[in-house]
Structure 1
Amino acid sequence: MNRMQKLFKKMNLDYDDYEIVKQLAEDFREWCMWNKAIEDIEVIQSQKFNTIVVIHELFTDYTKVTDGWEFISDVKYFLKEYASNSQEDLNYMLEFWEEKIKRYE
């Protein structure tokens, strides 16, 4: 298992937990800011529907409404795309996210 696979495995957390989803959104916004981008992400804990709702525009051409599980899939997709640019980008992404995910170990 390579380093990115290990990281993504560690990212398999409980995305029905509002605090975890909220922290992931904050970490992803920080990641984007480090890469000179700004992403709008809103995490809502719906009492009426007893679920977590994530609203984001990671795909620039539309707004997407997801749950926590689909949101982590979207985040992983973008991280894979970023990491595929170069070895330097891969290492940079791994260093940032490995540090963030340590809080859950």
Structure 2
Amino acid sequence: MQRCVYATPSHPIHLTDEMVKLEKDAKKSVDFHKKLQDAVSSLKNELAKHLLNLNVSCFSMAPVKRKYAFERFEIPSGESYVLKICYPLKDQVFPADLKGESFSALLGTHYSSVVK
């Protein structure tokens, strides 16, 4: 089983006009995903260091679009890109209050694997 945590960037990922066009055009989606990966590279590098410090050696990260509408002020409400991090459930969890230079919050750090 995998644990999925979502990291919200400190500064929203700004989509340029070119990236918005590429996002809408399915034929050019490879170019869009490459530019999106470039936009989150510093965020991925910082979180990879935190994962390695927790002795997590197997993980994946990908930018995804999500909507947020709750009370945390450091997370922009509405639709935005966040970084989805998946790693084995058996590994240590991120501290819930962890923040970094490139991310302001982590969501889903302490969800239980038991479904009721």
TM-score bucket (shorter structure): 0.3 to 0.5
Hey, which of these two has a bigger chunk of helix by percent?
1
Hey, which of these two has a bigger chunk of strand by percent?
2
What is the TM-score when the length of structure 1 is the normalising length? 0.35
Max radius of gyration: which structure?
2
